[in-house]
Amino acid sequence: MPAPLQSTQIGGDLLESGEQSAPDDGERSGGTLVGWGVGHPTSVRFPTVTFELNDDAEALRRVVRDFADSEVAPHAAAWDRDHTFPVDTVRAMGDLGLFGIPFPQEYGGGGGNLTLLCVAIEELARVDQSVAITLEAGVGLGANPIYRFGTDDQRERWLPDLVGGRALAGFGLTEPDAGSDAGATRTKAHQTADGSWVINGEKAFITNSGTEMTSLVTVTAVTGSEPSGRPAISTIVVPSGTPGFEVGPSYRKMGWHASDTHPLVFTDCAVPAENLLGAEGRGFANFLSILDEGRVAIAAMAVGVIQGCLEECQRYANERIAFGRAIGANQAVAFAIADLAVAAHAARLVTYQAAALADAGKPYKAEAAIAKLYTTEAAVSATRTATQVFGGSGYMDETPVARHYRDAKVLEIGEGTSEVQRLVISRSLGLPVS
């Protein structure tokens, strides 16, 4: 296994979606891509970009690719078949420093940025989406809210283990009746005389919420009303094992079989007052402010899927003999694989452009939506093409392309559906869509 990454090298829930306007979440530092041109006059910018990842990013890519090829790819089919969450491999990812990529060194992180996280996610998704989403959700929806909105005490208490990959956290937003309409949250929390928060409600499709590594889940709950009459939603940290917090049976999903996903039930679940994350009533707005980063990270997953399909098809088209020659000698097959190369190239460009904007502290909401929409739909198409290239073999679960085919569909759903992305893009163009 590769050696742990040094800090100098380094520098979304399953169906957590929803979209409303949220305040700007501040400056970010340290872009790794260079060559910005003049912004487009509308709210959607199309800057000229010279895409040259720096040495740190390329070093990270090589390390994660080696890890993915040696520690993930050989086992991915078995994990998928047996619906096994690969605890030891996830811990090894922590030892390698992957969960700490975008966090400061004071919490055990690598001091990197979103671009570097996308590099790692892409390389993992190339061989196994389940492992990639474990990293993406563990960082973006597990540790990031605590880093961004937590108090110093909350950060010191929970971040070191999350950043070090010794523990995982889930983010409980989605409910049985509140998916894309995340503002329709029904889970409620009230304070008792001693200040404790008592939570009642249900959450659905929550990633990293029921593993033996899970240390906490951050949940959204209605804690009052805004002056407008809308529900005031807050976020509250609930440690695993808290009385009244029940993790339901793991879902039987179409794909992502090695990813941990559960429903959650809270019945008079009481936590201390200091477990409120961020200001009371700001939970939903805070969540939306980190959702754009998650969309870029999901786009990086989609890039990895397309790249994985391309590499599998290149290999198979050179090995599979039909009518006396390799099937790659047939234009129909060769052109299909060429289209995969085009999709991978275009998807990578749009994803890393959005990541670079985020890292440079520039507005990127529309670019994140564009990246998420384009790459995920391209990934679903790529898996269909790859399955066709493999023919009958592609329909067998033992082949990576069959697993990619089943796994890819949820990319168009999680962290904002394709329809939500089109809504965000339309609004950025000044269209009065609702």
pLDDT tens column, 317-349:
999 999 999 999 999 999 999 999 999 999 999
| CATH hierarchy code of domain 286-428 | 1.20.140.10
* Residue tagged 């990576």 (tokens): 400
Q: Where in the chain is the domain with CATH 2.40.110.10?
A: 170-284
User: What is the reported pLDDT for 349?
Assistant: 96
Q: Which amino acid is at 136?
A: E
Average pLDDT over residues 167-195: 91
Q: Does the pLDDT at position 89 exceed 60?
A: yes
User: Which of the four pLDDT bands, split at 50, 70 and 90, describes residue 14?
Assistant: very low
Average pLDDT over residues 157-179: 95
264-316 pLDDT, tens digit each: 999 999 999 999 999 999 998 898 888 999 999 999 999 999 999 999 999 99
Determine the 3-state secondary structure of 212 from DSSP: coil
The fourth-level CATH superfamily of domain 170-284 is Butyryl-CoA Dehydrogenase, subunit A, domain 2 (2.40.110.10)
Q: Does the pLDDT at position 220 exceed 80?
A: yes
Measured distance CA(49)–CA(45) in Å, rounded: 12
User: What is the reported pLDDT for 4?
Assistant: 57
- Contact by Cβ (8 Å): 133, 63: no
Measured distance CA(353)–CA(49) in Å, rounded: 8
Average pLDDT over residues 192-197: 97
Measured distance CA(250)–CA(247) in Å, rounded: 9
- Helix ranges (H only) for 68-113 are 73-82, 87-96
- Contact by Cβ (8 Å): 394, 386: yes
Q: Does the pLDDT at position 219 exceed 50?
A: yes
Cα 160 to Cα 103, 294, 422, 433: the distances in Å are: 10, 21, 37, 43
Q: Does the pLDDT at position 35 exceed 50?
A: no
Reported in sequence order, the residue ranges of 272-360 that DSSP labels E, i.e. its strands, are 276-277, 321-322, 325-326
- Contact by Cβ (8 Å): 274, 207: no
- Contact by Cβ (8 Å): 10, 99: no
Q: Where in the chain is the domain with CATH 1.10.540.10?
A: 7-168
User: What is the reported pLDDT for 180?
Assistant: 73
User: Which of the four pLDDT bands, split at 50, 70 and 90, describes residue 11?
Assistant: very low
Share of the chain above pLDDT 90, in %: 82
227-255 pLDDT, tens digit each: 888 899 999 999 999 999 999 999 999 99
415: annotated active-site residue: yes
Measured distance CA(219)–CA(271) in Å, rounded: 12
Kindly state the DSSP code that residue 239 receives in the 8-state scheme. Answer: E
User: What is the reported pLDDT for 51?
Assistant: 66
Q: Does the pLDDT at position 7 exceed 90?
A: no
Residue of 16, 123, 377, 415 with catalytic role: 415
| Domain spanning 7-168, CATH class | mainly alpha
Q: What average pLDDT does the structure give for the chain?
A: 90
Cα 113 to Cα 248, 297, 321, 358: the distances in Å are: 34, 11, 45, 9
User: Which of the four pLDDT bands, split at 50, 70 and 90, describes residue 39?
Assistant: very low
Q: Does the pLDDT at position 94 exceed 80?
A: yes
Q: Does the pLDDT at position 420 exceed 50?
A: yes
Q: Where in the chain is the domain with CATH 1.20.140.10?
A: 286-428
Q: Does the pLDDT at position 18 exceed 50?
A: no
Average pLDDT over residues 400-404: 97
- Contact by Cβ (8 Å): 237, 48: no
User: What is the reported pLDDT for 30?
Assistant: 36
Q: Does the pLDDT at position 208 exceed 70?
A: yes
Determine the 3-state secondary structure of 370 from DSSP: helix
Average pLDDT over residues 81-105: 98
Weakest-pLDDT range from 8-17, 194-203, 293-302, 304-313? 8-17
